[in-house]
C-alpha cells in the first residue's frame, strides 16, 4: 500500500483552531463574525463544538486535515483553492486579518495581536502516531510482532539482530523519523552488502540506524559510510574474512561534523558522544543484519577488537595548521566527507619530552616501526591521530603535511637484513631475496594523518591497518550526500 492521499480542504476562507489554545478562544467571536459576513469554514482539532456548534464547523477528529496540510500553528487563517492552501496567516493580528479577508473592524474589543499555539498535528506526543497512521504504510520492511509478555531487547537478541549490546526497537514511528534525516527515497538502493551480497535500501539502513541509537541527522553519514564500505576498493568482504582484528574506521570531515555534534576533541576515540558512538555501530549493524557478516560465519577475527563494534570520529579542522584529511585526499575545503579506513583499535603514541619537530618525528617513527611486527613492511597502512599538543610542535616549526610525511618517511626505512625470516634467530620475517634492500615500513601514501583530541596531553594515537592493495583494502573517501 502507498501512503494516504491528502484529503482536500473546503475551498474559500478556512480557519484551523483548537479549544485548548487561548488565542483561538480569544478570536472565536471573530470567526463567528466572518462566517456570518463573508462565509468561513472552521476546522477544529479537539472539540467538535468549538468555536460554536454550527454547520460551518468541521471536526478534524483524526487530525488528517491538519497533518496533511502541514498546519503548525493555531489559529491559522487560510485561503484554500482546489482543496489546497494558497496563502495563510498564523496567530491573531487584527491588521493582518482585516487585510487578508478584506473585512474591516474585526475584533475591535480584542488586543491588536496575540501569538498562536502549536497545532495538535505537531504535538511531540502525537507526531509519531500520526506519521505511522498517515505514511507508515509506505514502509516495505517486514513487520515482526513481539508478544506482549516478551522483552523487546531479549526478543531482538534471540533473533540475532544485536552486536551484543542492547539495540533500540525499530518501530515504524522511529524508522519514519529516521528517514526524515535524508532526502533520499526510502526505496533507493544504497549498496549491495557483503558477504551475502544483499541489496540494501535507504529504509533498511534507517532500520539499523534506529537500532544503533542514531539521530535522524546522522543518516547522511551512515549512508555514505555504507556506500564506501561496499566498494570493490574497500573490500568489506575481505575485511570480514581476515583473521586480523580489523573493521571499518569512519573518519568524518567538513561542516556536517559541527551540524550533527560530532566529537573531535577530548576522548574523541572513546565513549560519551552519541554521534561518534552510533554512526560506526550503525554501519556494522547493516553489515551484520543485512549482509550477514556475523562472527563465526564469514567474520573470522581471531581475537577481534572494539573496531568491530564501530569506531567513528571527526577531525578537529579548526584547530589544525594543516589541510584536513579530506583535503589531502583531493576534496575541496568545506566539503563534508566520510573516509573509511580498514583498521584495528587505536594504540597510544607517547612522547612528553620532545620540544622540536625533529625529535618528535623521529620518536613517532620508532613507535610506528613496530606496528603488527617490526618485520612486516610495505603491507599495511596506518592512521596517525595527531593530538593538538603534538601538532603544536609542527605549527611552531612551520612544517606542513608534506614536510612532515617526508621527514617521517625518511625515518621509516629498515634494512632488509634485519627483517628477513631467520634474522637474529626469529623465524618470522620478509623473504630472503630482500636481505640487501632498504625497505619502507609503509607503502607510498600509506600514512594518513588526522588532527584531533584534547588540548591537554602529549599523546597521539595510531590505528593500524589491514593488508593494503589488490589483496586487501584501499582507504576510500566519499562526499556526503543528504
Calculate the CA 463 to chain-centre distance.
22
Give me the DSSP letters along 229-294: HTSTTT-HHHHHHSSSS-EEEEEEESTHHHHTT---STTTTSSS-HHHHHHHHHHHHHHHHTT---
Give me 147's grid cell.
508478544
Q: Which residues contact 292 (CB under 8 A, 6 or more apart)?
A: 195, 196, 198, 298
**C-alpha closest to that of 67 among 11, 24, 131, 138:** 131
Q: Assess contact for 221 and 178: CB atoms under 8 A.
A: no
231-235-239-241 Cα dihedral, nearest 10 degrees: 120
- What is the structure's pLDDT at 134? 86
Q: Is 261 exposed, middle or buried (0-12, 13-18, 19+ CB in 10 A)?
A: middle
- C-alpha–C-alpha distance, residues 446 and 294, integer Å: 29
Q: For 459, what's the count of Cα atoms within 13 Å in the CB-facing half-sphere? A: 14
- C-alpha–C-alpha distance, residues 91 and 97, integer Å: 10
- What is the structure's pLDDT at 418? 96
- What is the structure's pLDDT at 471? 86
What is the chain's pLDDT, residue by residue, as a tens digit (482 residues)?
Answer: 345 567 999 999 999 999 999 999 999 999 999 999 999 999 999 999 999 999 999 999 999 999 999 999 999 999 999 999 999 999 999 999 999 999 999 999 999 999 999 999 999 999 888 888 887 567 889 889 888 889 999 999 999 999 999 999 999 989 999 999 999 999 999 999 999 999 999 999 999 999 999 999 999 999 999 999 999 999 999 999 999 999 999 999 999 999 999 999 999 999 999 999 999 999 999 999 999 999 999 999 999 998 999 999 999 999 999 999 999 999 999 999 999 999 999 999 999 999 999 999 999 999 999 999 999 999 999 999 999 999 999 999 999 999 999 999 999 999 999 999 999 999 999 999 999 999 999 999 999 999 999 999 999 999 999 999 888 999 999 999 98
Calculate the CA 406 to chain-centre distance.
35
- What is the structure's pLDDT at 444? 95
Q: How many helices (H) and strands (E) does the chain have?
A: 16, 20
**C-alpha closest to that of 380 among 417, 423, 349, 412:** 412
Q: Give the DSSP H/E element, type plus range, for residue 211.
A: helix 202-212
- What is the structure's pLDDT at 4? 55
* Domains and their CATH numbers in the chain: 12-136 (3.40.30.10), 154-479 (no CATH)
Amino acid at each position: 500500500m502507498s501512503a494516504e492521499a491528502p484529503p482536500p480542504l473546503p475551498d474559500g476562507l478556512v480557519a484551523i483552531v483548537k479549544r485548548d489554545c487561548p488565542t483561538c478562544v480569544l478570536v472565536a467571536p471573530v470567526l463567528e463574525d466572518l462566517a456570518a459576513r463573508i462565509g468561513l469554514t472552521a476546522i477544529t482539532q479537539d472539540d467538535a463544538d468549538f468555536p460554536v456548534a454550527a454547520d460551518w464547523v468541521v471536526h478534524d477528529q483524526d487530525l488528517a486535515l491538519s497533518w496533511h496540510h502541514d498546519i503548525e500553528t493555531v489559529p491559522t487563517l487560510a485561503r484554500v483553492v482546489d482543496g489546497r492552501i494558497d496563502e495563510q496567516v498564523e496567530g491573531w493580528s487584527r491588521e493582518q486579518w482585516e487585510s487578508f479577508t478584506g473585512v474591516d473592524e474585526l475584533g475591535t474589543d480584542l488586543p491588536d495581536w496575540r501569538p498562536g499555539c502549536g497545532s495538535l498535528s505537531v504535538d511531540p506526543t502525537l507526531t509519531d502516531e500520526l506519521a505511522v497512521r498517515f505514511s507508515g504504510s509506505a514502509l516495505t520492511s517486514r513487520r515482526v510482532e513481539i508478544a506482549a509478555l516478551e522483552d523487546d531487547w531479549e526478543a531482538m537478541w534471540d533473533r540475532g539482530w544485536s552486536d551484543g549490546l542492547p539495540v533500540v526497537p525499530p518501530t515504524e514511528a522511529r524508522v519514519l523519523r529516521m528517514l526524515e534525516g535524508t532526502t533520499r527515497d526510502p526505496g533507493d538502493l544504497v549498496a549491495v552488502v557483503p558477504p551475502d551480497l544483499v541489496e540494501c535500501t535507504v529504509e533498511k539502513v534507517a532500520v539499523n540506524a534506529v537500532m544503533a541509537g542514531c539521530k535522524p541527522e546522522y543518516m547522511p553519514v551512515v549512508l555514505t559510510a555504507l556506500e564506501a564500505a561496499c566498494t570493490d576498493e574497500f573490500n568489506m568482504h575481505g575485511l570480514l574474512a581476515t583473521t586480523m582484528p580489523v573493521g571499518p574506521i569512519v573518519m568524518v570531515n567538513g561542516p556536517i561534523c559541527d551540524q550533527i555534534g560530532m566529537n573531535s576533541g577530548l576522548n574523541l576515540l572513546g565513549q560519551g558522544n552519541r554521534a561518534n558512538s552510533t554512526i560506526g555501530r550503525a554501519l556494522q549493524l547493516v553489515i551484520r543484519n543485512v549482509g550477514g557478516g556475523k562472527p563465526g560465519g564469514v567474520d573470522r577475527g581471531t581475537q577481534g577488537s572494539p573496531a568491530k563494534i564501530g569506531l567513528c570520529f571527526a577531525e578537529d579542522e579548526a584547530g589544525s595548521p594543516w589541510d584536513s584529511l579530506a583535503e589531502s585526499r583531493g576534496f575541496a575545503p568545506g566539503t563534508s566527507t566520510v573516509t573509511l579506513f580498514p583498521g584495528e583499535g587505536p594504540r597510544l603514541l607517547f612522547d612528553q619530552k620532545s620540544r622540536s619537530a625533529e625529535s618528535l618525528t623521529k620518536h613517532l617513527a620508532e613507535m610506528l616501526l613496530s606496528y603488527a611486527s617490526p618485520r612486516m613492511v610495505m603491507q599495511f597502512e596506518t592512521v596517525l591521530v595527531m593530538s593538538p599538543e603534538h601538532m603544536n610542535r609542527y605549527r611552531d616549526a612551520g612544517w606542513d603535511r608534506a614536510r612532515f610525511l617526508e621527514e617521517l618517511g625518511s625515518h621509516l626505512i629498515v634494512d632488509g637484513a634485519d627483517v628477513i625470516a631467520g634474522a637474529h634467530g626469529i623465524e618470522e620475517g620478509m623473504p630472503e631475496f630482500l636481505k640487501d634492500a632498504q625497505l619502507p615500513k609503509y607503502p607510498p601514501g600509506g600514512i594518513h594523518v588526522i588532527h584531533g583530541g584534547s588540548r591537554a596531553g602529549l599523546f597521539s594515537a595510531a590505528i593500524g591497518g589491514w593488508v593494503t592493495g589488490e589483496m586487501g583494502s584501499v582507504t576510500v573517501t566519499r562526499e556526503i550526500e543528504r
